[in-house]
Amino acid sequence: MKIKIIKCLQDNFSYLIIDEKSQLACVIDPSEPDPIIDFLNHNTKITLKYILNTHHHYDHVGGNHKLKKKYNCKIIGFKGDKDRIPEIDILVDDNQIWKKDSFEAKIYHIPGHTTGHIAFHFYNEKKIFTGDTLFSLGCGRLFEGTYEQMFNSLKKIKQLPKDTEIYCGHEYTLQNSKFCIANDPENLKLKEKITIIKNNLRKNLPTVPTTLQDELECNIFLKAKDLKSFSKLRDLKDNF
């Protein structure tokens, strides 16, 4: 299983999950259709079969309509968002295993950023797609959910194996790192990670995937011990 990172819009990441054997692919959160179509035009052996949406925001579903029309692919999303995810075909629920062809992912309902946000955990490959819930060195803003929901959603992700690779919805890592280091100035591991981040960005490379291990050590939101300190950090970040 190969992951192709496709940059979309200003700072969004869409991801193609490609089974190299069958040449079938899923796309996670196509923000816009054209960068995906462009990649597929240059890789004509690959067939796009599924669109997986983490949540209903336009910068995650913007490509749904055009890609479905062009490739006749199926759209998978949270059942609670069936009226908000454009052209959804397959409804999934919390803790369900979604399995098609050689793709196999567990669904986690992780509300907070939106009430219907989900993550797709490809546990055999140890990769999770966290949308706008967990970012590298940050977490999503609370647009619809409560502090408690977001805190509990992050807790679910924290329980996964530490070598799980995390693929998030935006390239916010450098900006996020400034907030982390301001609140955790003695963290050596974080300092090391910031050096790597800056090197990647200088070379125009993405800062994803990150790992759960790195995030547990460096992401101030995952280090928050209780709901109260998490909530305080979330407020501070909104005005940072």
Known catalytic residues are: 55, 57, 59-60, 113, 132, 170
Of 29, 32, 81, 132, the one binding Zn ion (CB under 5 A) is 132
Q: Is the peptide bond before 86 cis (omega within 30 degrees of 0)?
A: no
Does 59 help bind Fe ion (rule: CB under 5 A)?
yes
Q: Where in 199-238 is the site for Zn ion (CB under 5 A)? A: none
Identify what 112 binds: Zn ion, Fe ion, none; CB under 5 to 8 Å per kind: none
Instruction: Report how many helices (DSSP H) and strands (DSSP E) the chain contains, helices first.
Output: 9, 14
Does 81 help bind Fe ion (rule: CB under 5 A)?
no
Place of tokens 């759960």: 212
Of 17, 30, 53, 57, the one binding Zn ion (CB under 5 A) is 57
Of 81, 132, 215, 217, the one binding Fe ion (CB under 5 A) is 132
User: What H or E segment, with its residue span, contains residue 74?
Assistant: strand 74-78
Q: 30 near 52, Cβ under 8 Å?
A: no
Q: 30 near 223, Cβ under 8 Å?
A: no
Identify what 62 binds: Zn ion, Fe ion, none; CB under 5 to 8 Å per kind: none
Place of tokens 């140890």: 126
Residues 6+ apart with CB under 8 A from 240: 178, 179, 182
**Alpha-carbon gap, residue 49 to 46, rounded angstroms:** 9
Stretch that binds Zn ion, among 127-135, 154-162, 175-183, 209-217 (CB under 5 A): 127-135
Binding mask 170-209 for Fe ion (x = CB under 5 A): ----------------------------------------
Instruction: State the Rg of the chain over Cα.
Output: 17
Find the shortest distance in angstroms from Cβ 236 to Zn ion: 20
Strand-pair partners of 51: 27, 75
Find the shortest distance in angstroms from Cβ 124 to Fe ion: 27
Q: Which residues bind Zn ion (CB under 5 A)?
A: 57, 132
Q: Which residues bind Fe ion (CB under 5 A)?
A: 59, 132, 169
